[in-house]
Each structure stands twice: as C-alpha cells, then as structure tokens.
Amino acid sequence: MTTLNKAGTYKLGHRTVNRLGYGAMQLAGPGVFGPPKDPAAARAVLREAIAAGVNHIDTSDFYGPHVTNQTIREALHPYPDDLVIVTKISARRGADASWIPAMSPQELTQALHDNLRNLGLDAIEVVNFRSMHGIHGPAEGSIEPQLTVLADLQRKGLIRHIGLSNVTATQVAEGRSICDIVCVQNQYNLAHRDDDAMIDALARDGIPYVPFFPLGGFTPLQSSTLSEVAKRIGATPMQVALAWLLRRSPNILLIPGTSSVGHLRENLAAAELELPDDAMEALNGIAARSETHAAAH
Ligand SMILES: NC(=O)c1ccc[n+]([C@@H]2O[C@H](COP(=O)([O-])OP(=O)(O)OC[C@H]3O[C@@H](n4cnc5c(N)ncnc54)[C@H](OP(=O)(O)O)[C@@H]3O)[C@@H](O)[C@H]2O)c1
C-alpha cells in the first residue's frame, strides 16, 4: 500500500511493524511541556502518519504531561488494528517542566494507569522502563525492583510486552534475566554511536533497537559530510540520516519526531532511499571526525 514497505519490517513483541515509525514527543508544547501551539496541526501529523502506513508510534504520558497521549487518542482512537503504541514510564514532570525520577512501585503503577486512561486502552502493547538512574544518559544501577513491578503489571494483563530505555549493556542483561525484553530504546544517531556493540548483540538475538534522537533531537544533526552526501544523491540531510540508520542494522526501528506534516512526509520518504556503499562509507566516518553535534537533554 505504501512506500514505507520499502524499508522492510521487523518483529516487535509478537507484532510486526514497519521499520519506519513515528515518535510523538514533538507534539507537546515547547520543552515537551504543555499543549501544542496548534492542536489541530498535531492531530493532522498523527493522521498523516497512519495514512502513510506508520504502524509504530512511540509516546509517553510524561510528554506534556498527558497532552501527547490525549492528542493521540483524539486523533486516532479507535486505533487501527495493526497500530503498535509503545510508551515509557519512570518519570514525572515538575511545574517548571523538569524531568523527575518516579520509579517507586506506586509511581510506576500510577504512570501505567495514566497511560491507559489518556490513550484509551485496556492494555498497552509495549511499555519501556525508561531508567532514570541517569536522567540525560544511561547510568549503572540495578533495575530489578522496577522490572519486578512491570512484570507484575504484565501478569495482570495491563502490559503485553516490556522494553527498556536509557540503559547500559549490564542493565539489558539484568533485565533479560528477569523478564522477556522485546526492545531497547537508547540515544543513537550518525554522530552519537555509543551503542554500536549493543545494537549488534541485540540483532543477533532478534531484538529491536529503537534509537531516540535519530535526527539529533533538540539540536538536529549538522555536518558538511551529511549535506554533501545528501546533495550528491538528491535527498535531504535528514533523509540521509534516517537511511543510514536503516542500513546500519536490520533490527533498528525508527521513530523520528516532528510536529510538521511536511517534515513527516520527508522523513517517511527515507524508506525509499538506498544509500550507495561510498555514501555509507563517508557517513560512517562522521562520528570518528566528531564534526557533527547531537543534542543531549
Ligand atoms: N527514551 C527516551 O529517553 C527518549 C528521549 C527522547 C526522545 N524519545 C523518543 O524518540 C522520538 C524521536 O526523538 P526526537 O523527536 O526527540 O528527536 P529527532 O527525531 O531526532 O528530531 C526531532 C527534531 O528534528 C526536527 N525535524 C524532524 N524532521 C525534520 C526534517 N525533515 N527536517 C528538519 N527538521 C526536522 C523536529 O522539528 P519539527 O517539529 O520542526 O519537525 C525536531 O526538532 C521522540 O519523539 C520520542 O518518542 C525517547
């Protein structure tokens, strides 16, 4: 039905999704806080994504907070049968828009119920435990207490599958010893490649790796090499950044975020882009030369 098929599919839990999906974080207000400037435009982005064949949407109730999930519900409920909505829990927002760890059993349970209510679901297909041992990047520390809570919610039928986010390789191993982990969502893009070994290890076991900030996040990727490659092959830099991720490993599922229908169309068209070997080689060199910058928040 759509050109999204050209990027292929991958198994996520017991569902199969297109490798190009959509991340909904950009639909909240500035700083991922409060309502969008134009709620109708936010709903239009979601409807356009579904019309284009997207069947994997990443969200969280701490985007807004609540606003992004409510927007998804308003735009898309009742949901298409093939849509997989993935959320994440473990944080709450301060009145000043700060990100505050909320990892106690009560807070995790409350967060799950907030997601269910605001999305209008009886169960959520995939819930990522987003470690807040480090707020802006992975930090060691046991995740056993939190995963025990998620596994209990899974036994109650409120969560179908469990994933991890913002985690180290040690935490992935610990998580997999406690319950089935169906995906890992960490920061990774052309310029930020700390997880190279993790991606390859997960690929060997058939587990999806879902890079967040695939376009650089709050400070979109900028690189002369990226611009040169894009110009040479007649694509935009953002399309090339996504195509590089698609070619990097078959277990990578993309959730680029945007608040704009125009950018959404541009990003989804990356499914059709096949990077030639010499372009791949040039792009591989970017991180080594540290000529780009990606945002950390
Ligand atoms: N697990 C975690 O801790 C975590 C953390 C961050 C994000 N996430 C998830 O990952 C998803 C993706 O990350 P992200 O949205 O933060 O960052 P991203 O996808 O790397 O980039 C989004 C930024 O790029 C801009 N953009 C998008 N498409 C563009 C295009 N074609 N041309 C120019 N600019 C473009 C967006 O602005 P416009 O709105 O103007 O297009 C926005 O500023 C999020 O939506 C969220 O679901 C997870």
Residue 238 in contact with ligand 1 by CB distance below 6 A: yes
Q: What is the pLDDT of residue 131?
A: 98
DSSP for 203-250, written as a single string: HHTT--B--BSTT-TTS----HHHHHHHHHHT--HHHHHHHHHHHH-T
* pLDDT, mean of residues 199-227: 97
Distance (angstroms) between ligand 1 centre and the Cα of 256 equals 5
Residue 10 in contact with ligand 1 by CB distance below 6 A: no
Residue 131 in contact with ligand 1 by CB distance below 6 A: no
Residue 127 in contact with ligand 1 by CB distance below 6 A: no
pLDDT band at 295; cut points 50, 70, 90: very low
Substitution candidate for ligand 1 out of 20, 212, 240 with most atoms within 8 A of CB: 212
Q: How far is Cα 182 from Cα 158, in angstroms, rounded to an integer?
A: 16
Substitution candidate for ligand 1 out of 188, 258, 266 with most atoms within 8 A of CB: 258
Residue 257 in contact with ligand 1 by CB distance below 6 A: yes
Distance (angstroms) between ligand 1 centre and the Cα of 245 equals 14
- φ and ψ at residue 208, rounded to 5 degrees: -65, 145
What does the pLDDT look like over 161-195, one tens digit per residue? 999 999 999 999 999 999 999 999 999 999 999 99
**Ligand 1: nearest atom to the Cα of 215:** 20
- DSSP code at position 53: T
- DSSP code at position 80: P
**Alpha helix segments (H runs only) across the chain:** 39-51, 67-76, 105-119, 144-155, 169-178, 196-204, 224-233, 237-248, 261-268, 277-289
Q: What is the pLDDT of residue 293?
A: 44
Q: What is the pLDDT of residue 290?
A: 45
What does the pLDDT look like over 105-156, one tens digit per residue? 999 999 999 999 999 999 999 999 999 999 999 999 999 999 999 999 999 9
Residues present in the chain in total: 297
Q: What is the pLDDT of residue 3?
A: 84
What does the pLDDT look like over 225-239, one tens digit per residue? 999 999 999 999 999
Q: How far is Cα 2 from Cα 77, in angstroms, rounded to an integer?
A: 22
Distance (angstroms) between ligand 1 centre and the Cα of 148 equals 30
Q: What is the pLDDT of residue 287?
A: 84
pLDDT band at 1; cut points 50, 70, 90: very low
Residue 208 in contact with ligand 1 by CB distance below 6 A: no
Distance (angstroms) between ligand 1 centre and the Cα of 79 equals 23
Distance (angstroms) between ligand 1 centre and the Cα of 255 equals 8
Domains and CATH numbers, the chain: 9-219+250-259 (3.20.20.100)
Strand, helix or coil at 77? coil
Q: What is the pLDDT of residue 214?
A: 98
Residue 161 in contact with ligand 1 by CB distance below 6 A: no
- Positions annotated as catalytic residues are 63
What does the pLDDT look like over 238-293, one tens digit per residue? 999 999 999 999 999 999 999 999 999 999 999 999 999 999 999 999 986 544 44
Distance (angstroms) between ligand 1 centre and the Cα of 145 equals 30
pLDDT band at 2; cut points 50, 70, 90: low
Q: What is the pLDDT of residue 294?
A: 42
